[in-house]
């Protein structure tokens, strides 16, 4: 029989509980840390880092800095479609960001309790991913186009995405977006909020429920730790990061 170990903590006065799996290994068997292969920056890997950190899972990283590293991964058959992120976990080599996130969310009890909750989590996570990609791709554009893209991302956040999530929180009446426990959707929404705030600090001024949500989710112990200096969270991309990505991927 598979043993399941859970660490549960509560915050605030509304009996909100956060549960984190402590691992599925058999007693006496040490679980190998996941290993992440990507650039030393956010990109498409950052949401994966967020999920692992929230679950309290330690992970290792190998940063791609040269074209030779990338070509070796391709030659060794590690990159299914010739793309990163690449995550080595549970004896598998996983590629494709969406697939990796779904696997991690399910593995670490962040994917709802049934199919109906999962499809809502998928919808919300896909929406926030669309918003974040507008910001993630901006540094690779020409200066004026970059500023236009960032301005459009803020506009879309205020007019399209954040009103939807404000309404979801109001209608649902719970501390979380789906059900009554933390999920991948909550984690990724917080990631998106913080990312947009780096571009426009007052972006949540018209969204009181999202403001409260941000405070609430940011204070979950593992997330609070991840948001502290010195964690494996990556800073906003700079010119060096852009140059490395261009060099490694030849674009």
Q: What is the pLDDT of residues 168-177, one digit of tens each?
A: 999 999 999 9
Q: Hey, how many other C-beta atoms are within 10 angstroms of the C-beta on 58? A: 10
Across the chain, what does the average pLDDT equal? 89
Rounded Cα distance between 166 and 204, Å, is: 10
Q: What are the pLDDT digits (tens) for 123-178?
A: 999 999 999 999 999 999 999 999 999 999 999 999 999 999 999 999 999 999 99
Which domains are seen in the chain, by residue range? 6-108+228-237 (3.40.30.10), 115-219 (1.20.1050.10)
Q: What is the pLDDT of residue 32?
A: 86
pLDDT at 6: 39
Residue 15 pLDDT more than 50? no
- The answer to whether the beta carbons of residues 244 and 65 sit under 8 Å apart is yes
| Residues in contact with 132: Cβ distance below 8 Å, sequence separation at least 6, in sequence order | 47, 188, 191, 192, 195
The full DSSP string for 99-164 is HHHHHHHHHTT-S-SSHHHHHHHHHHHHHHHHHHHHHHSGGGS-HHHHHHHHHHHHHHIIIIIHHH
What is the band of 93 on the pLDDT scale with cuts at 50, 70, 90?
very high
Contacts of residue 145, defined as CB under 8 A and 6 or more positions apart, other chains included, come to: none
- pLDDT given for residue 30 in this prediction: 60
Tokens read off for 118: 């999962």
Note the pLDDT of residue 27: 45
Q: What is the mean pLDDT of residues 43-67?
A: 97
């Amino acid at each position: 029989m598979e043993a399941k170990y859970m660490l549960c903590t509560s915050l605030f006065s509304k009996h909100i509980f956060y549960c984190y799996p402590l691992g599925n290994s058999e007693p006496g068997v040490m679980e190998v840390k996941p290993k992440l292969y990507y650039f030393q920056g956010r990109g498409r890997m950052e949401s994966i880092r967020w999920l692992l950190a929230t679950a309290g899972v330690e992970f290792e990283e190998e940063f791609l800095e040269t074209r030779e590293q990338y070509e070796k991964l391709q030659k060794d058959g590690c990159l299914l479609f010739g793309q990163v992120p690449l995550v080595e976990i549970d004896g598998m080599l996983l590629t494709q960001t969406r697939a990796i996130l779904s696997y991690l969310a399910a593995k670490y009890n962040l994917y709802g309790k049934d199919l109906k909750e999962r499809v809502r989590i998928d919808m919300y996570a896909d929406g926030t991913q669309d918003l974040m990609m507008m910001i993630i791709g901006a540094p690779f554009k020409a200066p004026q186009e970059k500023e236009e893209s960032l301005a459009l991302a803020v506009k879309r956040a205020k007019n399209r995405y954040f009103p939807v999530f404000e309404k979801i929180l109001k209608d649902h009446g719970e501390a979380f977006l789906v059900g009554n426990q933390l999920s991948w959707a909550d984690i990724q929404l917080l990631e998106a909020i913080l990312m947009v705030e780096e571009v426009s600090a007052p972006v949540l001024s018209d969204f009181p429920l999202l403001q409260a949500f941000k405070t609430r989710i940011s204070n979950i112990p593992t997330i609070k730790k991840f948001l502290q200096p010195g964690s494996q969270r990556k800073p906003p991309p700079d010119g060096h990061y852009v140059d490395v990505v261009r060099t490694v991927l030849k674009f």
